[in-house]
Amino acid sequence: MSRTTLTQRIDAARAEGRGVVIGYLPLGFPTLSASVEAAKVLVQEGFDAVELGIPYSDPVMDGPVIARATQTALEAGFRLRDTFGAVREIAQGNDTPLVVMTYWNPVLQYGTSQFTTELLDAGATGLITPDLIPDEASEWLEASSKLGAERVFLAAPSSSDERLKAAADASEGFVYAVSTMGITGAREDVDEAAKSLVARLRAQGAQRICVGLGISTPEQVTDVLSYADGAIVGSALVKALDHGGVEELRELAHSLVHRH
């Protein structure tokens, strides 16, 4: 049985007249088994999809909370190949789309087709590639098209219309709209920049747009879903897991999904 894809999940939610809530957690934090348990909490609490981050030694685009968590994971011995077993475990017994977020270099080192094949086999639907732009992604575009992996590219307020169109055309699943300039992290109010970025992406033909970076409260999720197809919460979940373990994570996760 093939798993539900991001595209299918977003379209199904849209048919119900709602947006999707996506949660991000890094694999390997605080330990590999604990990260699997934490991701399962997001699935149990009804997140529409779960993003699993692969720890990387030079996380240029991550805020301090996520960077610290990935550093902890690497120090605890996380290896790239641990990704596949973790995804397989998280995927068991549910149909929630799982997407892996990774910097491009580890995938390249592993072998793009090999990595993609093993990832899909484990139960993920595709990859979010924060540091890869479509015009430098020919190998990934080819492998993902051939193997049937969804691919999510990022778009930022600073991007030209031409760059936004490239992201809209190349993405499958959704386009990841980076709501604020700079690195990830929970912010008090999600920028107006996010709204105008979503509008610009729609003008460039983007079908599905999810907003991430800086979303940490149920109110912000509701606000983002008034103009985008999905809201992505990351740092706030990592912080909750770090501060109060699975219990605090579950509490926050529940409040983000059940906002009424």
Two tokens, residue 186: 């929970």
Active site annotation includes 139: no
As a whole number of angstroms, the distance between CA 143 and CA 112 comes to 7
| The pLDDT value given to residue 192 | 81
pTM reported for the whole predicted model:
0.94
**What's the average model confidence in pLDDT over 118-127?**
98
**H or E segment and range at residue 103:** none
- 184 confidence band (pLDDT: 50, 70, 90): low
Q: Is the pLDDT of residue 110 over 60?
A: yes
| The pLDDT value given to residue 65 | 87
Identified catalytic residue from 45, 48, 51, 150: 51
**What's the average model confidence in pLDDT over 221-244?**
96
Q: Is the pLDDT of residue 201 over 70?
A: yes
As a whole number of angstroms, the distance between CA 27 and CA 40 comes to 12
- 85-89: list long-range contacts, CB under 8 Å, 24+ apart: 85/122, 86/27, 86/28, 86/32, 86/35, 86/36, 86/39, 86/52, 87/52, 87/119, 87/122, 87/123, 87/124, 88/122, 88/123, 89/36
Two tokens, residue 130: 């924060």
Identified catalytic residue from 37, 48, 58, 62: 62
Q: What's at 94, amino acid-wise? A: N
**What's the average model confidence in pLDDT over 99-106?**
96
CB 192 within 8 A of CB 223: no
Contact partners, residue 8, CB within 8 Å, separation at least 6: 97
| The pLDDT value given to residue 214 | 83
| The pLDDT value given to residue 185 | 62
Active site annotation includes 219: no
| The pLDDT value given to residue 127 | 98
**What's the average model confidence in pLDDT over 21-47?**
97
Two tokens, residue 220: 């912000």
| The pLDDT value given to residue 57 | 83
- 189 confidence band (pLDDT: 50, 70, 90): low
* Average pLDDT value over all residues in the chain: 93
Per residue, the 3-state secondary structure of 19-37, as one string, reads CEEEEEEECCCCCHHHHHH
CB 55 within 8 A of CB 83: no
**What's the average model confidence in pLDDT over 163-181?**
92
Selection from 152, 86, 164 nearest residue 125 by Cα: 152
CB 29 within 8 A of CB 72: yes
Exposure letters 220-234 (e unless 16+ CB within 10 A, then b) = bbebbbeebbbbbbb
- 39 confidence band (pLDDT: 50, 70, 90): very high
**What's the average model confidence in pLDDT over 247-252?**
98
Kindly list the structural domains of the chain, giving each domain's residue range(s) and its CATH number in brackets, ordered by start: 6-257 (3.20.20.70)
- 232 confidence band (pLDDT: 50, 70, 90): very high
Strand, coil or helix: what is 191?
A: coil
Exposure letters 155-187 (e unless 16+ CB within 10 A, then b) = bbbebeeebbbbbbebbbbbbbbbbbeebbbbb
| The pLDDT value given to residue 108 | 96
